[in-house]
Homo-oligomer: A and B are copies of this chain.
Amino acid sequence: MNPKNDLNLIADKLPEWLEESRKYTVLGRPASYIPELAYAPAEALGVTVMGADGTEITAGDCGLTFTMQSISKVFTLLLALMDHGEDGVFQKVGMEPTGDDFNSMLKLELVPPGIPFNPLINAGAIAISSLIHGVSPSDKLSRILAFFREVSGDPDLTYNEAVYASESAHAHRNRSLAYFLKDNHVLDGDVEEVLDLYFKHCSIEVTCRHLARMALVLALNGKDPVSGRELIPKRYVAIAKTFMITCGMYNASGEFAIKVGMPAKSGVAGGILALVPGRFGVGVIGPALNHKGNSTAGVHLLQTMSEAMDWSIF
């Protein structure tokens, strides 16, 4: 477990692993529920690995920009935990995987008291968005952007206007979820304001490098890899990592835990943020998705790396 040797091995092998995994892009296709996502290049695959000392290794289409989508939910959860503590957050969302699709409403109707089962399904993430402190909608957005910028190390990080507009215009199912939550007394405040914030943080635009840096902060238990300063309390990072294992890959999280074993979170733009505790942050982009919403080639690449490097936490 010599970090230096590991980095050399990764640098050596990564192009080969990536090209092998790229073949799996044909098994999926970009998300089409909003037009903006459907434009993504289906055959793209890119990766950035960042070591604890900040060393970066990249391969493939790592210059591709894309929106965080569900990956942003990990960091709004962290911000909500910093704003409200565990007790405050877990009054609004539970801690259990659902076994259902990420936009399912079944358990909201069937399981009293009708709160989202966890903060990483859509219903839960919308509830979390309603918890972000701020005196106004723009203040809440500013706080989210400030936090994401700090964790990613990029002061220019912002959301993509076109994707945000497209999300907002096509978000009938998320509106349905949000109004259901309102009816169940889970959402405080104005539903459309909460949704607007949710669409904006889902539309934050990144590259693999951003994801790798954000993952590395989690891998280092919340510490900035350069300054060593605590950006996020360790306990909250532990909570986030736990959810990434149990619920991070939609309703394929259990399979990912068995086959890859890395805390990870995927988004429907094709991104995956993954980490090796104490050691590496990883960012992957591969827009072609399987039917559960995860990057086909991205999952294959992470499985290849995890097996080769013995990265599973189990």
Query: Are the C-beta atoms of B99 and A105 separated by less than 8 Å?
Result: no
Instruction: Give residues of chain A (283-314) contacting chain B, Cβ–Cβ below 8 Å.
Output: 312-314
Residue of B95, B110, B176, B179 near A106 (CB, 8 A) is B110
What B residues does A242 contact at CB under 8 A?
254, 257-258, 261, 314
The count of identical subunits is 4
Q: How large is the interface on A (under 10, 10 to 19, 20 to 34, 35 or more residues)?
A: 35 or more
What B residues does A87 contact at CB under 8 A?
none
Could you say which of A10-18, A46-54, A145-153, A243-251 contacts chain B? Answer: A243-251
Query: Are the C-beta atoms of B176 and A95 separated by less than 8 Å?
Result: no
Assess whether A210 is interfacial by the CB under 8 Å rule.
Answer: no
What B residues does A251 contact at CB under 8 A?
96
Assess whether A253 is interfacial by the CB under 8 Å rule.
Answer: yes
Query: Are the C-beta atoms of B96 and A253 separated by less than 8 Å?
Result: yes
What B residues does A106 contact at CB under 8 A?
106, 109-110
A121 smallest CB distance to B (angstroms): 10
Query: Are the C-beta atoms of B254 and A97 separated by less than 8 Å?
Result: yes
Assess whether A64 is interfacial by the CB under 8 Å rule.
Answer: no
A175 smallest CB distance to B (angstroms): 4
Query: Which 8 A-B pairs rank lowest in CB-CB distance, beginning with the nearest?
Result: A172-B183, A176-B179, A96-B254, A97-B97, A176-B180, A98-B99, A175-B179, A172-B182
Which residues of A does B touch, CB under 8 Å?
A: 94-100, 104-107, 109-110, 117-118, 172-173, 175-180, 182-183, 191, 238-239, 241-243, 245-247, 251-255, 257-258, 261, 263, 312-314
Q: A94-B254, A96-B99, A245-B245 are in contact. List 11 more A-B contacts (CB 8 A).
A: A95-B255, A96-B252, A96-B254, A99-B107, A110-B110, A118-B254, A172-B180, A172-B191, A176-B176, A179-B179, A246-B253
Can you list 25 residue pairs at the A/B interface with Cβ under 8 Å? A95-B258, A96-B251, A96-B254, A96-B255, A97-B99, A97-B253, A98-B99, A99-B107, A99-B117, A105-B109, A105-B176, A106-B109, A106-B110, A172-B182, A172-B191, A173-B180, A175-B179, A176-B177, A179-B179, A238-B312, A239-B314, A242-B257, A243-B258, A246-B257, A247-B254
